[in-house]
Structure 1
Amino acid sequence: MDMGMSMLPWLDQPVMLHSNRNPGACAMTAEQCAYKNSYWVFWYQADHRYALPTVAFFLVAIILFTLGHILAGIFAPRMKQASPLSRVLAAFRFLSYKGWRLGGWNTQSLGVFLLGAAGVVFFLAMTLGPRPYYWPNTKEINYGNSPPLATRAGFMALACMPFLILLSAKANPITALTGISHEKLNVWHNWVAWAMFVLALVHTFPFIVYHVWKGDIVEQWSTGGVWVTGVVAIIAQAWLTFMSVPWIRNRYYEFFKATHLFMALVFVIFFFFHCDFRMSSWDYFIATGVLYSLCWLYAQCKTYFEHGIRHKARLVPESEHTLRITIDTRMEWGPGQHVFLRFLTCGVHALTAHPFTICSVPRRDCKNQLVFYVKSRGGLTGRLMALARKNPDIQIPVLIDGPYGGIPAGRVGDFDRNLAIGGGVGAGITLSLIEDFVRYSSVQENKEMKVIVATRDPDMRAWYTQALEDIATRQALEKPVAGLAIHIHETFTEGGEQELSAENIKVQGNTQSIDSKESSPSSTSATEIFNLQVIAGRPDLPAAVHHMADREGVSVGVVVCGPSSMLYDVREAASAVQNSIISTKPGIARELWLHSEKFS
């Protein structure tokens, strides 16, 4: 046996970048040769017939969203007055916001489903449209050993790989072109993974059917490296796909994160060997490697060269379930943005970075402070809370990657009326919006902001009020901020779970505010400056959204961060307002823009 063959049993020898495309002379009849070499089934051009159109499909989608992003910036000034353009914009926003709730799960938006349906139609047409699915082989006539159905599905699955990997990167060119943040692209990472997995199954089973018919499937498994590498690759792919199902990933997130990258590496390596440089198959691995390496290197450069390795994270337990993390830095960021933090003294967690939404805003030409309010769960956050309780105000080394996502620059300041909604620890994002609003309150005339925070944590009011006091100190606020109102809804009082503390509270109907005469000076200052009120019970979020949009000709910006039920209520109200704008209903805002965050 050839020494090279024994050393690399999974690759044909000699190893090349591309295999030979010459089919050789056809020994069958002219009619049979024409059938075998016809456009849709000719094996030696299958990558051009199926992989390249798949790449084109993804590129067309990216180009369309890029054009939309560019046009939105060009026509933004024309949205200052109600016009046909505003109704067109409302129609696209309706598609983006409209969704459904099934049990305790929010569906994706109508627009996402429509784009996903376009992908389903494309893949079904390309897979099931061309005929035949199997060669009409007999014991005497052999058209080929690769069923056409398996060939086309395999090359389409291969073409999905660069986009699948690219959509998983935090810093990626798709985000740069379309303006869609990486966490919002994650749905497409998941859906492309499912498309690729289904195509891989369609690629696999016809080979099993064919070789069972031929009677040599045991021999193929025993002697063919292509079967071994294919089986390992599809097992790894199945693991990656099913473990990414939201309810599984969320329930076992730490285990998911620890195994996902490893299994992805196993999948790519064995998929690489499985392709065995057939035609242009390895070109897709080269493209994937180059693109992902650039994304990874960009993120690493931001972490080590822009932010450095000297940052320290200060941990302070604010309540039983809420941890405050602060990091002194000179970096800059925008409202609602998040960073990935890698804590270097948390055991195995030091190997991974976790996302946290920033709850502060930077000041120019001075040292800034990143502030995070984190709900203690299991895994990393539980470990951090344990460290903070054991040694309050402890400082641990941390690496920073970001910032990413957030609210597009200037969006909140562009609107006449603003509504910020936070649920649970998602209330942290409202703090950065409040601080951003008060920074420019002196130059923003007739601007309004209402903040609604809902919490089940009895201790949340204390740390939230202290955070407001910190904002007042940083911004040197001495008088009430015009146009700003903050309502804290304490939902733990429902059903008699716990009574509101009578200390420092005065009742005004169903609304309660911190008493300025009996409370501490800091509480009094926060109450008066920010028009802070505490309310028992759940907020009526749809009513709040509609109330903000009930003035004709105004523009409204809404930001929400919280549990899935809260996101659904706000999205439904926002989509209803878009319907009113499209139908030119009197007494309605000219536009309503919604930004939602799924984590904090």
Structure 2
Amino acid sequence: MMNTTGGTWWHGKYIPTSAQITAYQMNHEPWAKSVRFGYYGLYFLAVTVFIAILMNVHFQFTARCSLKRAAGGKCAFQDKVYAVFRYLTYPRLPTSVSRFITSWYKAPSLGPTLLLAAGFVFTTLYCFADTYYYRPPFYGSSPLGLRSEWLAMAMLPFLIVFGQKISIIGILTGASHDKLQVFHQGVAGLHFYMSIVHTISMSIRADREKGMANAWATNSAYRTGFGALVPLIWLCCASLPVFRKAAYEFFWWMHLAAIGSYFAVLWYHVYEELDGPYYMYATFAVFAFGTLLRVGWMMYINLRNGVHHARLQILPTGAVEITIPTRLNWAPGQHVFLRFLAVRPFDSHPFSIANFPAQDPAERTMRFVIRPQQGFTRALMKCASEHGNSERDFVVFLDGPFGESARDLRSFDEVLLLAGGSGMAYIAPIFLDLARSMKSEETKSRVTKVSLVWTSRFAEEYVVDSFKWFESDINEAQALVSKKQASVDYFVSDENNESVKPDDDDDKKSVFSLHFGRPDIRAIIREKSMEWEGRVAVVSCGPDTFSTDASNEVADVQIDILMGTAKCNEMFLLSDTFGW
């Protein structure tokens, strides 16, 4: 029973002394000990990242061992474990379902979804499992509000790291920034969830005492709390795909402004609250470290050998080709962010590098093939149409290269490459790299077969022209190895183009097999799983429907591997998308 002597009364409610508040809280979730919930959140995130680091080390070690091991060598138990893991991580929502929600939420594959779901369950249980949500009026802050507060604060440093282009977590886990964006957005959602719980519970606490109006007038924590909530709501709502895609450049600048506003107000909200300033210090530190790394790298690659210049040209298919002489090196499958000072100096966008780097740095030229959409790419199209036939070069700043290197694919026995439309810009350098590694005696590779499937949709006069985008790379690859080792199938999905035939007098007829109609991606993957032996890799880049079919079929093949009905003993998936 509470002591109601020594304090004061307000409208029939007893206001205890500070000593009485302390005595009551000693046995009822003390305010000072509520910081432990933040530690629980840190432990969950840190352990998750540590497991990801261990997995990356294991996969890197396995890839190196595979290069040294004779073809056909395998570990049946390890293959089964991989199959279970991939069956639980690769599947995606069918397009028939995802198309109804994609404007509001772009669902990742099952693996990240399960991990984020685990985070949701973890935070929900730690907040709500103990039903002691509120103290009696005037006896201190809501325990529910404190739990959610510290869980939200613990997420801040990780939220920032997951959103950076260059980060320690990305380096240690081997995950590129575009893959970590899923967790940046997911952790941001959990942070918003906990912030809403904190706001509502603290508002209920205030209403049960002297009312929200009095709390607003007398307690600055309420003013700064709601002041921080406003930009946080903007950050989360404006980041939804439907708004982000409608005006990406506007979103990007407003995103930066909202981040600055949020952290500025949040600092005043928590700087006197127990561990509050320490979480802010950690957040500022990781933000500064990542920013310095990225800016330092940008300055280094753009200034050490002079400013980069780009030349734009419109291809017959309507795509824009960009060529940039550079001494910078890159790996197949990587991308860079381009910033054109004469087009949109404050905007930069990522584009896959569509060619392989020359061995001599003095002869290197980056090549990009871009399908104009809206905003930045449309501005490039306009600029190319005005100056593309002239000798004018445009000053461009490079930021990168970023993305997972596809060189680990050399540790597989066979590789299936799937390109949808301009996704070929990502696939073509990988195809050439694998062909070169198969031929080279200096490069370690166990790849014996590479099959490239490219599907596109163009007007009939552009079918051959579209292939010319990457003709030199494909010609070189097939000149290095036999066509049985490196095959190319080109599908024109527009069935109205069936009148198009390869020129019988053109040597290009032997370069690729031309097909009409949409390819059955799932059937192609299934066929390879029953035909190829050993370790098989599938690489996919294309529209959402294309990538979804590839992901779900590779996931289904894992069941065949577990049942022993597949000829291959392992099937790995590397998937890239047009945007994130």
The aligned runs of 1:266-345 (5 Å cut-off) are 266-308=261-303, 310-319=307-316, 321-345=318-342
The answer to whether structure 1 residue 488 and structure 2 residue 486 are counterparts is no
Of 42, 57, 71, the residue aligned with 2:30 is 42
SS for the counterpart of 1:27 is helix
Cross-structure match for 2:401:
403
Give the stretch that moved more between structures: 212-221 or 307-316: 212-221
Amino acid at match of 1:190: Q
Contact 2:436 2:480 in 1 (8 A): no
In 1: Cα distance, 2:368 partner to 2:468 partner? 14
3-state SS, counterpart of residue 440 of structure 1 = helix
The CA deviation at 1:485 is: 1.7
Q: Which residue, out of 71, 76, 80, partners 1:83?
A: 76
> Does 1:53 pair with 2:40?
yes
544-553 vs 164-173, which moves further = 544-553
2:127 corresponds to which residue?
127
Spell out, residue by residue over 1:155-174, the C-alpha distance to the aligned partner (whole angstroms, 9 max, x if none).
Answer: 21111111111110011111
Q: Describe the SS at the equivalent of 1:335.
A: coil
Query: 1:34, CA displacement in angstroms?
Result: 5.0
CA deviation map 1:356-405 (0-9, x unaligned): 11111112233211111111011110000000011115421111111111
Alignment-derived partner of residue 384 in structure 2: 388
1:429 is matched with: 426
> What whole-Å deviation, never above 9, does each CA across 1:331-374 have from its counterpart, x for those lacking one?
1111111111111112xx32132111111111223321111111
CA distance in 2, matches of 1:424, 1:460: 13
CA distance in 1 between partners of 2:78 and 2:191 (Å): 38
Structure 2: distance between partners of 1:192 and 1:464? 41
Pair 1:374–1:460, CA change in 2 (3 A): farther
- Aligned partner letter, 2:272: F
Give the TM-score of the pair, scaled to structure 1. Answer: 0.85
Please report how far the alpha carbon of residue 151 of structure 1 lies from its aligned counterpart in structure 2 after TM superposition. 1.6
Distance in 1, Cα, partners of 2:127 & 2:465: 57
- Tell me, which stretches of 5 or more residues in structure 1 are unaligned? 1-23, 506-513
Is the CA contact 1:359–1:371 (under 8 Å) kept in the aligned structure 2? yes
Q: Which residue of 2 aligns with 1:11?
A: none
- Distance in 2 between residues matched to 1:374 and 1:247, nearest whole Å: 22
CA distance in 2, matches of 1:175, 1:593: 20
Deviation at 1:533, TM superposition (A): 2.1
1:287-320 deviation per Cα after TM superposition (whole angstroms, max 9, x unaligned):
1111121111111122111343511111111145
- Whether 1:226 aligns to 2:206 is no
Amino acid at match of 2:463: R
| Corresponding position: 1:179 with 2:195 | no
Q: In the alignment, residue 129 of structure 2 is paired with which amino acid?
A: G
Distance 1:488 1:294 in 2: 45
Q: How does 1:506-521 map to 2 (within 5 A)?
A: 514-517=502-505, 519=506
Q: What is the identity, as a one-letter code, of the residue corresponding to 2:549? A: D
For 1:109 and 1:499, the matched residues in 2 are separated by 34
The answer on whether the counterparts of 1:96 and 1:112 sit within 8 Å (CA) in structure 2 is yes
1:250: Cα distance to partner? 2.6
CA distance in 1, matches of 2:308, 2:434: 28
Distance across 2 between alignment mates of 1:573 and 1:351: 41
What are the equivalent positions in structure 2 for 1:173-572 lying under 5 Å apart?
173-308=168-303, 310-319=307-316, 321-346=318-343, 349-366=344-361, 367-393=363-389, 394-411=392-409, 413-443=410-440, 447-458=448-459, 461-471=463-473, 477=479, 481-493=483-495, 498-500=496-498, 502=500, 505=501, 514-517=502-505, 519=506, 524=507, 526-528=508-510, 531-551=511-531, 553-572=533-552
Name the amino acid aligned to 1:420.
Answer: L
Mapping of residues 100-119 of structure 1, within 5 Å: 100-101=93-94, 102-104=97-99, 105=102, 107-119=107-119
Match of 1:370, SS state, is strand
Note if contact 2:418-2:454 (Cα within 8 Å) is conserved in structure 1: yes
- Return closer, same or farther for 1:299/1:462 CA change in 2, 3 Å cut-off: farther
Unaligned runs of 5+ in 2: 1-15
Query: Does structure 1 residue 72 correspond to structure 2 residue 67?
Result: no
Q: Aligned partners of 2:536, 2:58: CA distance in 1, in Å?
A: 20
Which residue type is aligned with residue 398 of structure 2?
A: I
Take 1:414 and 1:445, find their aligned partners in 2: how far apart are those partners?
A: 6
The 1-side partners of 2:197 and 2:176 are apart by: 32
Q: Is the 2:216–2:222 Cα contact (8 Å) retained in structure 1? A: yes
Q: Which residue of 1 aligns with 2:571?
A: 592
CA deviation vs aligned residue, 1:256-283 (integer Å, no higher than 9, x gap)? 2221111111111111111133112111
Count of aligned pairs: 541
What do the CA deviations read for 1:498-544 (whole angstroms, capped 9, x no partner)? 43454xx2xxxxxxxx2241x4xxxx2x443xx31221110010111
1:445 to 1:64, Cα distance in 2 relative to 1, 3 A: closer
Q: Helix, strand or coil for the counterpart of 2:19?
A: coil
- Report the AA paired with residue 406 of structure 1: E
Which whole-Å CA distance do the structure 2 matches of 1:423 and 1:285 have between them? 44
Contact 2:453 2:489 in 1 (8 A): yes
Query: Structure 2: how far apart are the matches of 1:37 and 1:396?
Result: 68
Q: Work out the CA distance in 2 between the residues paired with 1:491 and 1:214.
A: 67
Tell me if structure 2 keeps the 8 A contact 1:438–1:481.
Answer: no
Q: Secondary structure at the match of 2:133?
A: coil
Distance in 1 separating the partners of 2:160 and 2:542: 28
Contact 1:441/1:481 (8 A) holds in 2: no
